[in-house]
């Protein structure tokens, strides 16, 4: 199966939108998902800029059916018609980790699409609904890499540079908030415990 037509070009996220939604010390009601796609070629991952962008969940307040960001994203991937004979790596930077239902949907996708590797870096853990721990473990067992965004590994800076509109100042540095590193470390330990099937 050949690759489908490229999606329309995606814009960049407003600076304040990024800071409001990826700040791991606050708890916004929206979920933003930034994504990029690479194809394996000669043992190297080659960026596919036509499959790069961001999206957000849809809420009932917008006059439409409530939908989480992950199912919306999976719908987008399906429209790309990625060549099953090639290897792809999709990396997501998401403001909340997947809930149990979304983790289940992502797991089903990976089971059916062995030619796609998935990496998920979350700003915070979505722990409001039961079953999220088992969902994250299932996702990892399906081959996904699941991790917390951190300052030390530069995921926040990477997103700031690659998915955010800096208007006139393209070299504007990422402005870390107080206690970002401390909070990331706590969330990293919590996620490690979840993935090892330990109690919080």
Q: Which residues are catalytic?
A: 70
Pairwise CA distance, residues 132 & 102, whole Å: 9
Euclidean distance between the first and final Cα of the chain, in Å? 45
Helices 15-22 + 155-163 axis angle, to 10:
150
Pairwise CA distance, residues 100 & 111, whole Å: 16
Residues 6+ apart with CB under 8 A from 76: 7, 55
Give the residue among 96, 81, 85 at the shortest CA–CA distance from 32: 96
Identify the three-state secondary structure at position 35.
strand
């Amino acid at each position: 199966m050949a690759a489908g037509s490229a999606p329309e070009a995606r814009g960049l996220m407003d600076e304040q939108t990024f800071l409001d939604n990826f700040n791991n010390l606050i708890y916004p009601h929206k979920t933003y998902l930034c994504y990029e796609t690479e194809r394996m070629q000669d043992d190297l991952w080659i960026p596919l800029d036509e499959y790069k962008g961001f999206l957000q969940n849809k809420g009932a307040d917008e006059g439409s059916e409530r939908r989480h960001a992950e199912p919306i994203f999976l719908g987008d991937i399906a429209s790309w018609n990625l060549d099953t004979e090639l290897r792809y790596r999709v990396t997501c930077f998401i403001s909340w980790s997947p809930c149990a239902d979304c983790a289940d949907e992502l797991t089903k996708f990976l089971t059916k699409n062995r030619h796609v590797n998935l990496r998920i870096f979350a700003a915070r853990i979505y722990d409001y609904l039961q079953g999220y721990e088992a969902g994250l473990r299932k996702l990892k067992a399906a081959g996904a890499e699941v991790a917390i965004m951190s300052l030390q590994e530069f995921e926040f800076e990477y997103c700031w540079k690659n998915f955010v509109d800096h208007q006139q100042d393209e070299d504007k540095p990422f402005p870390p908030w107080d206690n970002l590193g401390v909070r990331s470390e706590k969330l990293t330990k919590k996620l490690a415990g979840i993935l090892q099937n330990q109690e919080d």
